[in-house]
Structure 1
């Protein structure tokens, strides 16, 4: 079962996220060569592993090897993988670019929020596996991201509860889309065949199996969609259509059509 953010021991995680000094037995065990180690170095090593090899490659032993210390030394700085995942996600959020919303409508601002999150999840697809919207790591990276993205909804007339819900609605679309795009890319990579090649290879069988009299809508609409986008599902087409409809839904709530 894949771990997710918010599954670590809360007090330890928060102390690490906000850089509070360690106390108790763990702090007393930090001695010798491990003194050159910092939580930041451990997080950077874990991020490099996740980006290069996927989340499964991130083990405490593998991180320790990258840092150049024993696994036990790493445990004196980060209690375990659940806490490490929170630190990793928060670090990625902290490093996101945050452009000013000068002279933009709310629709343009929210498009910017969506694009920034898509760029992040595309560059670091492992985030779609662990970044739980319901239990984010409550560190400085998350708070800076949340504050900036909430400001994109300034002057929309929404109350505080609806502002939070509108942002969650938008981010939920982005995360679902990026997870689907990541899954589609992984399938194509594993099969060493693009979607267009797969459909072309199966076309003769499909033509015999799919009777337009039995499946009139599926055959007609599926053929039209496939011809338009080159496969059964196009990430770019799904993104453009889904983002526009998400913003249209928010426009109905805000009431001005587009800011």
Structure 2
């Protein structure tokens, strides 16, 4: 009987590890890359990686992906008990399911998440998670609420609206840094009615209280600040997807594009672009760092709000566009 596709993929990676082609710490192809190379669904690729994880051959590392696990002495491997699927099924809880799902999404992105993959990661029957979660859509909401629940704010907030808003924005940015998939849950026009998401909004809105702003302006600023963070954070997951799809780091990709940019700059058709590129080269180039861009954007946005407050921003008598 022909082995199922996920097993053939796992066998191939297992052989490469055994032969030394993949050494401890080496990156394993991502779920998306495996799906492309083997012509299989993302769920099939995820199941192959989960199988290898359960065998202890690979490990998932946040923001890195799957890597070959450190080699374990043969005597220890032989002494390790075989996983008991029935026992794992008995110990299954919604919390464990959510935690496993978050681990998959952190390592491989939301595209790699499936109920089957979560079951395989936990070593339980394929349908077992459905006893606790209705399906993937419901699971993603639970994951989002759990991730936002990691945020905490001090009982004694810092003095001043700006310090409080900065704390809220940086807390949110750190969450997206840890869980990049959060930025792809849906558009800002379709907010999620989740307790821990609302808790973040409550803190930010409270930071804008007492500034003499009308309620619509306060909520506009809340949405604007949230969108500023989420819009930038969306690039975190896109960055990882691009690297998985191309096999190139950002620096490697830019190196391959340098000739094309140089040709465009030399064409004479884009004088301002050419001048700015020359100025950047004169000061050592430009490195686009998302963390630095976040801080730059946050400062400028808050500077604008501060100026607006001095100019009567949010005056209830003002005409709204």
Q: Which interval holds the TM-score relative to the shorter structure?
A: 0.7 to 0.9
Instruction: Tell me which residue corresponds to 1:84.
Output: 139
Aligned residues: 225
Instruction: Label 1:208 to 1:84 Cα distance change in 2 as closer, same or farther (>3 A).
Output: closer
Corresponding residue of 2:294: 239
Please identify, of 105-114 and 209-218, the stretch whose mean Cα deviation from structure 2 is larger.
209-218
* Higher RCO (C-alpha under 8 Å, 6+ residues apart): 1
Q: How does 1:69-218 map to 2 (within 5 A)?
A: 69-100=124-155, 102-184=157-239, 186-187=241-242, 190-195=246-251, 198-199=253-254, 202-203=257-258, 206-211=261-266, 213-218=268-273
Cα shift at 1:171: 1.0
Moved more, 57-66 or 218-227: 218-227
Question: So what's the TM-score if we normalise by structure 1?
Answer: 0.73
- Residues 108-117 or 97-106, more deviating: 97-106
Considering only aligned residues, what root-mean-square deviation do their CA atoms show, in Å?
3.0
1:224 maps to 2:263 = no
Which runs of structure 2 are paired with 1:42-81 in the superposition (5 Å)?
Answer: 42-81=97-136
Which ranges in structure 2 are unaligned for 5 or more consecutive residues? 1-86, 313-321
State the distance in 1 between where 2:195 and 2:261 align: 52
Greater displacement, 109-118 / 182-191: 182-191
Which runs of no fewer than 5 residues in structure 1 stay unpaired? 1-31
